[in-house]
Amino acid sequence: MSKSILRLLALSCCLSLPAAAAWQDDPFDTEALTPLRPSPRLAARVGEAPCATALPATPLTAIDAVDLALCNNPQTREVWAAARVQAALLGVAQSAWLPNLDGRLGASRNFADSGDYNQRNAALTLSWLLLDFGQRAASTENARQLLAAAAATQGAAVQSLFLAALQSYYNAQATRAAVASAGEAERSAQESFAAADARYKVGAGTPADSLQAQTALSQATLTRIRAEGEARNALGVLANIMGFAAQQPMVLAEFQSLSLDEDLQRDVAALIDAARARRSDLRAAEAQLKAAEANIDLARAQGRPTLSLSAGPTWQEVGGASSNGGSIGLTLNIPFFSGFETTYRVRSAEAQAELRAAQRDSLSSQIALDVWRAYQNLNTAGHSLRTTADLVASAEQSERVALGRYKAGVGTVLELLAAQSALASARLQRIQAALDWQVFRATLAQAMGTLDYTLLQPAEGRP
């Protein structure tokens, strides 16, 4: 066998091995086009430690909750893996521009009337597609746009997970505050019952007053028990979104005083325009549309001629006689008729592009609605938060006056119980308003496509 052919065949075999060289793992450097793995680093925070897999030793803050969710939630791994799939498919599309080098070795034992003989052959073939009227260009553009869509989809998924983690954390804080409020209401009911029972024992009160106070105390205890159950459920939801088991024990950090220092009177139209420019899911829809348009060009080009070059040496030995040869040539492939396959491929691709365009327009309209709703909800929550502060203050004063009047013997137990019920309701409304403000603040940032760690830098409010 020709030594040159053997060397070429050995080289071609080595090139096909997965670990032949480091550059062969990613020769087109598609990994550099893949977005970063979702982690706290996506928020451009400098000097942060790598992803954490366990709860911090200190009480859990909102930033800790988001960090753990981005690090441990399977959704982040899923979208990152999907982006890597598209990056690899881009490499597949780019490989079509390069020639193919194939080696073939064969050996056989032939039997005939004239005698038996051995036959061996070897060949090395270089094939290169020289002209395809846009097939490779369209395929590469389609893969590039799908990669852009996957990267943008990852960004949108990270924003959604960021918001979900914040909502779970704020809800856990709100339910904890509700437990504290229910405990205060229970203590007030206990004090009222003690006062009513004391008046009854000295003959200054009636049995009805004592029974009504006892009923109010039992109701307050039941409310506190239910609030504790809701708080435990909220912690379970928070643990789940952070990638832990629902029974994972945790301690939440104390909220600082709430500060409404944001200007809520902003131009909604400008917010909507900014959201459309920033939203990752809209960029993904745009990329999907461009990929579909590239697919139209690909479908059309698949019905056009192709010109290929092939060349390579051959060697053959039959019955001890060997011969060397080779070939070089051009192949023009002209698809005259394919049963209208190309026609319907083009029609399908055009319809797919129309579908992607409609989805893009629908999403653009939905973004405007998302921003409008989040903006109005945040405004409402801000005004409610200010009003409930006054409501709680007046209800506390009213409850103190009613309790003082009842102890002095000039008020009724009904007045006292009504004041205590109003105070408990005011506290719950205050907690709900604070929760709404925190959630809608994050929701507006997510609708704008700007939800990141900067939202958590100001003082976190405590209901």
What is the per-residue pLDDT across 47-88, written as a single tens digit (0 to 9) for each?
Answer: 445 566 788 889 999 988 998 898 888 888 888 889 999 999
Mean pLDDT score across all residues of the chain: 85
Q: Token pair 């092939």 is at which residue?
A: 310
Residue 412 above 80 pLDDT?
Answer: yes
Q: Give mean pLDDT, residues 253-272.
A: 71
**Residue 52: exposure state from Cβ atoms within 10 A (0-12, 13-18, ≥19):** middle
More confident residue, 293 or 454: 293
- pLDDT recorded at residue 12: 46
Is the Cβ–Cβ distance between 158 and 66 less than 8 Å? no
Question: Percent of the chain beyond pLDDT 70?
Answer: 87
pLDDT tier at 408 (50, 70, 90 boundaries)?
confident
pLDDT at 39: 56
Alpha-carbon span 417 to 192, nearest angstrom: 8
Written as six digits, the tokens of 57 are: 């030793």
Return the pLDDT at 143: 94
Distance CA 463, CA 389 (A): 10
Whether the model clears a pTM of 0.85, i.e. scores above it, the answer is no
pLDDT value at 18 more than 80: no
* 124 vs 463, more confident: 124
Give how far Cα 322 sits from Cα of 118, 136, 312, 315, Å.
11, 41, 17, 7
Q: Which amino acid is at 3?
A: K
Range in 263-272, 274-283, 410-419 with the lowest mean pLDDT = 263-272
Looking at residue 410, what is its pLDDT?
A: 78
C-alpha pair distances (Å), 250 with each of 176, 189, 239: 12, 30, 8
E-strand stretches of 203-358 = 306-318, 321-333
**23, exposed or middle or buried, with CB in 10 Å at 0-12, 13-18, 19+?**
exposed
CA distance 217 to 417: 10
pLDDT, position 67: 87
pLDDT, tens digit, 9 for 90 and up, residues 299-314: 999 999 999 999 999 9
Q: How far apart are CA 16 and CA 18, in angstroms?
A: 6
Whether 225 contacts 215, CB under 8 Å: no
